[in-house]
Structure 1
Amino acid sequence: MSAEKELARAEWLSHADTRMVMDTLGVGARFVGGAVRNELMGEPVSDVDIATADTPERVTELLTAKGIKVVPTGIDHGTVMAVTPSRHFEITTLRVDVKTDGRRADVAFTGDWVEDAKRRDFTINALYADADGTVHDPLGTGREDIAARRVRFIGDANARIAEDYLRVLRFFRFHAWYGKGEPDADSLKACADAREGLRQLSGERVRDELLKIAAADNAGAAFRQMAAAGILPIVLPEASRLDRFEKLVGIEANQLFTSDALLRLASTLDLDAAGVAALAARLRLSNRDRDRVEAMLTDKTKIVAYLSIKEVRKALYLIGVQTFKDRVMLGWAEDRPGHNTFQWRAMLAMADSWVKPDFMLTGQMIKQAGVPEGPEIGRVQREVEEWWVDADFTDDEFSIIERLKAVVQATVY
């Protein structure tokens, strides 16, 4: 197919807000990167990025005059964000790298589309499209690699990686999401050779890439390739359970579950609470994510495929829905492939529909039963609650009160 207006039928391209932004920027602007790549590959398009020969100041002037909100997200690197009712557009001035240190780059603006393309990471990310959908391949290699689903660096792979060592992880991420067959040999060798440079990167950047790799359908192969290249021991040395990880990825794919990147990443680990804390500090996990990982890896509740309905309800009450579901998925990944699928799925379904019952016994009721103020109230309440849970959350108030009386008579007087 001719490149002329090739993307003209793309929904995102013809959207009213997209048209408004592109019309405002004029002929010096083109779509770039992921939107063009994914549309050509038949993949979903989320972010729509734009490149322009205009300076950030001129872009801001044009958009503001049109009443479009502009946020200077990376003005030193030529990037602003256009905010419209339907989506945000990242708009970046064409640029060349002046100086790089493996983590960041100093840039200069240019009007040369070829020079802008040369500074990008992979050939499949160096395609542009006009507002009418006409595709441009300034380097002459992107279209061929997109057709072959081949991920490879632009020009000298070693030079591209030296500009930003995060590109090592990005290579595995893009191959996991878009590649076909074995990784490009030259790119893979360059990544392996540059692996020590990954130690320069911040925990946040490494974390984000690891989670993006883990979310891919081909994440299992990607992690194995990273391990073989000596890269995984640097960025995730705790990953000792790739076998469980690969099984979990397969389960989510086969059962048509939405991929859960944090669960997948945690499945590679076999850590105690201290180990999780150290990992979380290094990768700058949020407190919420750290607590979730710690819970799923350290909880000792018995979770097996043959749990009774009563046992499932008890586990849900004691550890909560999220930890229960995480433990179920990890248990499923430990099970023999193809075994107990119905049972594991049934437990997940129960968790999704479960409503936590209210324990109706209050501190006031316990005091009325003769328990004095102080820690005894909490102890008695816990004992009665344990009985109530074992009784499958009976809603018989008379039985609960009778149990309260029995506990008080046996342990308080």
Structure 2
Amino acid sequence: MAGTADLGRDGGDAGQSGAAAARVDLPPAGWDADGLARLMAALGGADGQARYVGGWVRDALAGTPPGDLDIATALPPAEVIARAEAAGLSVWSSASGLQHGTVGVVIGGKGVEVTTLRRDVTTDGRRATIAFTDDWREDAARRDFTINALSANPVTGAVHDYFGGLADLAAGRVRFIGDARARIAEDHLRILRFFRFHARFGRGLPDAEAYAACTARANDLMALSRERIADELMKLLGGARPAGAIRAMIEGGVLRPVLPEIDADGAARLEALIAAEDAAGIAGDAVRRLAALLPPDAARADLIAARLKLSNAVRKRLGAALAMDAEARPRILAYRLGSGGATDRLLLAGRAADAAALSGWTPPRLPVSGGDLVARGLDAGPVVARALREVETLWLDEDFPDAARARAIADQVAGRIKLER
């Protein structure tokens, strides 16, 4: 894999200029090498008809865990299907995918998307009408950022770079291809994608032109579905270091048109939460971080979550994380909320040590049931329900003693209630 010292810059199809050409290791780690070799042979990879593109090439060069593997080809979709099937590979497709030139191929149990080179004909900020092309540079030009427009030869691993993406990757710079405002006008989601990629790959301040374009066109986000906004926001929050990007978005008014409730106080809470996660040695979590970012009011946060059309499970978790609770004992909190819910609430409260203490601990079940109390002579119904709550409280106060002690507590409670009757 090429290190950053090897990253050159190229304006054409021939490869990299400079003393050392950028290359990526082949085949991609974790993939079936024989299956990929068969697919690339079928697609004419050795003849320049197919390349690895986009995220996997970028991640391999950056030394970060690679994501999905995508392939671009000059071949039309029907020919991709025919060649892949002739090579004995399983293929799937949909009407929408074929319309956009994308065919799925199964390699070693994993799905690879093979997409015919494209150019945009028209765009409206949400979707594009495309036409197929055989021009690699033209296809790269329709991508959002220079670091996402890289492609790699499937035989040699040589990287093709038309817009300075290698230099930007080496410098920790996320930059739009061409005019930033024009690229945002093509697809408004690129505003949020810019901040997500800056959080992941950027160093220092955001690219000035890109940041100015995002702040100037923030109202464009209002044209997007709330589901797309939520999806992109959650991807950002789930990254390793989202706080700086979130603060930059707030300071630039980027979120104001669609999420005006997220403010500087929310950014400060997010930063405190991430510090607590780090101190506890607990992995960052997008839902927990969203809870920090939203107003610290469960009912209000639920209204925002509903507006974003988040799932019922996420809304329930947000509500549990933000509910007021005076319980100071972390293990009892875990018993009441589950380990995950307790961890959320403790970290949001800055109780990193208590959250860390819960790691690997599973709350036990109360070893006594209502039937056990009936067997001790109590009447089924409200009396047993009240007695069971009392047994549980005493059992929790003694920090989850074993079953023998729980039965002894049950004997005491049942005996006292019978004497009171």
| Pair 1:254–1:386, CA change in 2 (3 A) | closer
Check the 8 A contact 2:378/2:414 in 1, yes or no.
no
TM-aligned CA deviation for residue 11 of structure 1: 5.0
Aligned mate of 1:202, from 225, 240, 254 = 225
1:9 is aligned to 25
Match of 1:46 in 2: 67
**Alpha-carbon distance in structure 2 between the residues aligned to 1:129 and 1:71:** 24
TM-score (normalizing by structure 1)? 0.87
What is the TM-score with the length of structure 2 in the denominator? 0.86
Deviation at 1:205, TM superposition (A): 1.2
- Name the residue aligned to 1:330: 348
1:403 maps to amino acid? V
Residue equivalent to 2:42: 24
**Which deviations, in whole Å up to 9, do the C-alpha atoms of 1:213-271 show, x marking residues without a partner?**
22333311101110111112234323242112112224445665432122112111234
Q: Is 1:72 the counterpart of 2:89 in the alignment?
A: no
CA contact (8 A) 1:161 1:168 kept: yes
Query: What is the SS of the residue equivalent to 1:234?
Result: coil
Deviation at 1:201, TM superposition (A): 1.1
| Secondary structure at the counterpart of residue 45 of structure 1 | coil
Structure 2 segments unaligned to the other structure (5+ residues): 1-5, 9-14
The question of whether the paired residues in 2 share the 8 Å contact of 1:17 and 1:86 is answered with: no
Change (3 A) 1:43 1:361: closer
**Letter of the structure 2 residue corresponding to residue 118 of structure 1:** A
Aligned-residue identity in percent: 42
1:185 to 208, 212, 225: 208
Give the match for residue 143 of structure 1: 166
Deviation of 1:296 after TM superposition, in Å, equals 0.8
Provide the rounded CA distance (Å) in 2 between the counterparts of 1:301 and 1:10.
Answer: 55
Q: Secondary structure at the match of 1:262?
A: helix
Cα shift at 1:81: 1.8
C-alpha contact (below 8 Å) 2:26/2:154 kept by paired residues: no
Q: Name the residue aligned to 1:247.
A: 272
Secondary structure of the corresponding residue to residue 28 of structure 2 = helix
> 1:287, 1:370 → 2: CA distance?
42
Pairing of 1:215-234 with structure 2 (within 5 A): 215-234=238-257
The answer (yes or no) to whether the contact 1:219–1:249 under 8 Å persists in 2 is no
Using the TM superposition, name which of 399-408 and 371-380 deviates more: 371-380
Give structure 1 stretches of 5+ with no counterpart.
304-310, 336-343
- The root-mean-square deviation of aligned C-alpha atoms, in Å, is 2.3
Equivalences for 1:101-180 in 2 at 5 Å?
101-132=124-155, 133-137=157-161, 139-180=162-203
Check 1:314–1:145 CA distance in 2 against 1; reply closer, same or farther (3 A cut).
closer
Structure 1 residue 349 displacement after superposition: 4.1
Counterparts of 1:348-363 in structure 2, within 5 Å, are 348-363=355-370
Which SS does the other structure have where 1:241 is aligned?
helix
Once residues 411 and 193 of structure 2 are traced to their aligned partners in structure 1, the CA distance between those partners, rounded to angstroms, is 61
Secondary structure of the residue that 2:93 maps to in structure 1?
strand
Secondary structure of the residue aligned to 2:139 is: helix
- Match 1:402 to one of 385, 401, 412: 412
1:260-409 alignment to 2 at 5 Å?
A: 260-303=285-328, 311-332=329-350, 344-345=352-353, 347-394=354-401, 395=403, 396=405, 397-409=407-419
Distance in 2, matches of 1:109 and 1:165, equals 23
* Whole-angstrom CA distance in 2 between matches of 1:229 and 1:389: 49
How far apart, CA to CA, are the structure 2 residues paired with 1:252 and 1:369?
46
Deviates more, 1:360-369 or 1:63-72: 360-369
Q: Secondary structure at the match of 1:12?
A: coil
Partner of 2:11: none
Paired with 1:182 and 1:121, the residues of 2 have a C-alpha distance of 19
- Report 1 or 2 for greater relative contact order, CA contacts < 8 Å, sequence distance ≥ 6: 2
Q: Distance in 2 between matches of 1:204 and 1:71?
A: 26
SS of 2:256's equivalent in the other structure is helix
